[in-house]
Amino acid sequence: MLSKELIAYDLTMIYMKNRYGINVTGSFYISDNNVTGNIDTEHFPAVSEPQYTKVGTGEKGFLGLEKKKKLQSGNKVDTLFAEMVKDYYYAYSHFYQLLCETDSEPKNKEQID
């Protein structure tokens, strides 16, 4: 028999794959063997792909607006990874709690009546 922990983990991994898997969006049309449309695939950024933030330089530019420059502020995947870890722990504890609650419920239909 599988443990509740393993079941909760498996359910969590399915949830994570559905939530963070590759997203394909778009539309296409087929008529008379002719295909038109567009498909976009969203994916995770590479681990080393940099993330930039704009910071003021203190210099005035066009129309007196402050000039800004881009500085690397980490990697794009860092924020996404932190969100995934938080979601994993929340989903796991939620599924585990649901499994524990089912232990206190009736096991078969006769116990319900």
C-beta separation of 60 from 66 below 8 A = yes
Paired tokens of 9: 């983990």
How far apart are the C-alpha atoms of 5 and 3, rounded to whole Å?
5
The two most distant CA atoms of the chain are separated, in Å, by 79
Boundaries of every domain in the chain:
4-104
Average model confidence (pLDDT) across the chain? 86
Are 55 and 71 in contact by the 8 Å Cβ rule? The answer is yes
Residue 48 phi/psi, 5-degree rounding, is -95, 5
Strands (E), 1-113: 23-31, 34-42, 50-60, 66-75
Mean pLDDT for 10-34 is: 85
Using CA atoms, how far apart are residues 3 and 82, in angstroms rounded to an integer?
28
pLDDT (mean) for 6-21: 91
pLDDT digits (tens, 9 = 90+) for 30-73: 888 788 888 888 888 888 999 999 999 889 888 888 999 999 99
Q: Is the pLDDT of residue 83 over 80?
A: yes
